[in-house]
Amino acid sequence: MKIAILGFGTVGSGVYDIIANGDTRMRVTAIFIRPTHPATMPEMTTDLDAILNDSTIDVIVETMGGLHPAHDYILQALQHGKHVVTANKAVVAKYLPEFTAVAAQHHVQFYFEATTGGGIPWIRNLERAARIDQIDTIEGIFNGTSNYILDQMQRAHLDFDPVLLAAKDMGYAEADPSADIDGEDVVNKLKISAALAYNMAPPRDVPTFGIRNVSKADIDFFASQHQVLRLIGKSKRDGDHYSMVVEPRLYSETALAANTFENFNLIRLHGQTIGDLQFYGQGAGKYPTANAIVQDLYDILENAPHLDRSFDQPLHFDANLNVTDYVLRADPMTFAMFNDRETEIVNDRLVIKQIPTGDMHKLMRGVLAIDADAFMAAIGDSELAAKDVLHQRDQEVIG
């Protein structure tokens, strides 16, 4: 099987290394580089058309990242009858139904294991579970950079900025870490996961709040309450409704998420018959991500099909499907926004009791307009389904 790699950065070069030192049935015969990149290997070329029109190339591996030109390049590859494997979470999160449909039209495969969970075999196992079960929960630590920052802030007693700098030095964080610390990377991975789990096109907008504003004082306060902070992506399905949210969430210090250290990921699904399945491992990095790409290449080589999805289930997005307690650290003048809620002040922080997730995120936007440094976190063990809260309130009225 002959392979072309589009982009030769960290992940692309990792794919090349594994193939060059592995199975002789695979061979990289072309590497597409931008004109500004020096051609240091005989396989390198700046001529994409030559790759697309080369009938001997079976698979194109896209590792360029970003939406454009990756979207166009992937479509062109599929339309030229070439299988495509990608690690590009942003383009898959936005265009997954389109890529899947075009691949089917041209009788080729479009695989994307490396987009979510790095080296963890998350996508394939999610697909396997979804063949049998209705998946009703996806939850976890999807981003190694944010997890490293929060873990080091707690265990090394450091503030945000020096830990972020260390993450950059170690290669965990990009020069612009916004996608990691603001939660957009997790949003993309959660969209991909939910699309597969529920067989639907994900929503355009997901309630999202990252860790940019977290302080050492916040971490120390949570530790004093025997709680550990993690940036979490979570989706739940209830009948024909589903929710998605990305936000900081507090766990008891004995929970698995609280003991997922450094840049590791921990992702969970729940199915009706399989129950809980949890997956732990390296969530990013050159070789873990490249390994996931090569796993997809083996599936193509050995004709091992993945789950067939049409992404056409008529589900309804409901940001308020669940209600949770939140803790808010902000200018006290913002606390008046929550006067119609049950609240409690603990160590100058406002705890808001049983507020729907979507409502909390909307109110938080108002808080940030007044105090740009404000921070909030969901309290993980306080979450209930909205219908259960309504039932509980009805029972209290009857009682």
Closest CA to 372 of 344, 342, 334, 399: 334
Residue pair 318/243 in contact by the 8 Å Cβ criterion: yes
Alpha-carbon distances of 175 from 51, 76, 179, 209, 395, rounded to whole Å:
31, 30, 11, 21, 53
The span from the CA of 398 to the CA of 393, in Å, is 9
**DSSP annotation string for 286-331:** HHHHHHHHHHHHHHHHTT--------B---EE-TTSEEEEEEEES-
189 carries an active-site annotation = yes
The span from the CA of 41 to the CA of 52, in Å, is 19
Alpha-carbon distances of 209 from 60, 109, 179, 279, rounded to whole Å:
35, 35, 11, 24
Residue pair 215/226 in contact by the 8 Å Cβ criterion: no
Map tokens 């100058």 to a residue. Answer: 348
Residue 70, token pair as written in the block: 């990756």
Residue 117, token pair as written in the block: 């969970």
Q: Which residues 6+ apart lie within 8 Å of 146 measured at CB?
A: 180, 181, 183, 186, 210, 211, 231
Set 82, 94, 189, 234: catalytic member: 189
- Packed helices 184-198 and 89-105: angle between N→C axes, nearest 10 degrees: 30
Catalytic residues: 189
